[in-house]
Amino acid sequence: MTFETQSTNRAFGGTQGVYTHQSEATGTPMTFSVFVPDHAPDAKLPVLWYLSGLTCTHANVTEKGEFRAACAEHGIIFIAPDTSPRGDDVPDDEGYDFGKGAGFYVDATQEPWAQHFQMRRYIEDETPALIAAHFPVDMARQGITGHSMGGHGALTIALRNPGRFRSTSAFAPIVSPLECPWGEKALGGYLGPDRAAWRAYDACALIADGARLPDLLVDQGTADGFLDEQLKTHLLTEACARASIPATIRMQEGYDHSYYFISTFMAEHIAWHGERLRG
Q: pLDDT tens, 191-245?
A: 999 999 999 999 999 999 999 999 999 999 999 999 999 999 999 999 999 999 9
Q: Which of 147, 152, 257, 273 is catalytic?
A: 257
- Tell how far CA 102 is from the center of its chain: 12
Residue range 42-46: mean pLDDT, rounded? 97
Select which of 82, 202, 219, 224 is catalytic: 224
- Binned at pLDDT 50, 70 and 90, residue 51 comes out as very high
Question: Would you say residue 8 has pLDDT above 90?
Answer: yes
Provide the residue type at 37 as one letter. P
Q: Name the domain count of the chain.
A: 1
Mean pLDDT, rounded, for 135-150: 98
The total of other beta-carbon atoms located within 10 Å of residue 227's CB is 18
- What single DSSP character describes residue 164? T
Which pLDDT belongs to residue 114? 98
Give the pLDDT score at 246.
Answer: 98
Confirm whether 7 is a catalytic residue: no
For 80, phi then psi, to 5°, come to -125, 100
Mean pLDDT, residues 115-129: 98
Q: Is 224 a catalytic residue?
A: yes
Distance between CA 148 and CA 50 in Å, rounded?
A: 11
pTM comes to 0.98
Does an H or E element contain 10, and which? Answer: strand 4-11
- 47 DSSP β-pair partners: 77, 142
Q: What is the mean pLDDT of the chain?
A: 98
Domain span holding position 186: 3-277
Write down the pLDDT at residue 2: 83
Q: Residue 217 is part of a domain; what is its CATH number?
A: 3.40.50.1820
Amino acid identity, position 166: R
Chain segment 76-100, per-residue pLDDT in tens: 999 999 999 999 999 999 999 999 9
Q: Taking residues 122-142, what's their average pLDDT?
A: 98
pLDDT at 176: 98
Query: Sign of the CA dihedral 121, 106, 20, 12?
Result: negative
Q: State yes or no: is 52 an active-site residue.
A: no
Contact at 8 Å (CB) between 206 and 239? Answer: no
DSSP for 27-62? Answer: SSEEEEEEEEE---TT--EEEEEEE--TT--HHHHH
Q: Are 171 and 261 in contact (CB under 8 A)?
A: yes
pLDDT digits (tens, 9 = 90+) for 238-278: 999 999 999 999 999 999 999 999 999 999 999 999 999 99
* pLDDT at position 279: 72
Catalytic residue among 23, 52, 84, 148: 148
The pLDDT > 90 percentage for the chain reads 99
